[in-house]
Amino acid sequence: MNPVATSSRRPERRGFTLADAAKEFWKHPSPWMIGATLLVALTLRIVDGDWQYTDALVPAAMLAVFPFFEWIVHVFVLHWRPRRVGPVTVDSLLARKHREHHVDPREVPLIFIPWPALLLWILPVSVAIAVFAFPRAGLGLTFLVFVALIGLGYEWCHYLIHSDYKPKTAVYRAIWKNHRQHHFKNEHYWFTVTSSGTADRVLGTYPDAATVVTSPTAKNLHAATPAR
Distance CA 73, CA 31 (A): 19
64-118: pLDDT as tens digits = 999 999 999 999 999 999 999 999 999 999 999 999 999 999 999 999 999 999 9
Q: What is the pLDDT of residue 11?
A: 63
Distance CA 147, CA 137 (A): 15
Q: What is the pLDDT of residue 13?
A: 75
132-164: pLDDT as tens digits = 999 999 999 999 999 999 999 999 999 999 999
pLDDT band with cut points at 50, 70 and 90 for residue 6: very low
Distance CA 153, CA 133 (A): 24
pLDDT band with cut points at 50, 70 and 90 for residue 183: very high
Q: What is the pLDDT of residue 74?
A: 98
Q: What percent of the chain has pLDDT over 90?
A: 88
Q: What is the pLDDT of residue 192?
A: 97
Instruction: Kindly state the DSSP code that residue 165 receives in the 8-state scheme.
Output: P
Dihedral angle of Cα 175, 105, 102, 27, to the nearest 10 degrees: 100
| Helical (H) or strand (E) element with 85 | strand 83-85
Distance CA 167, CA 79 (A): 27
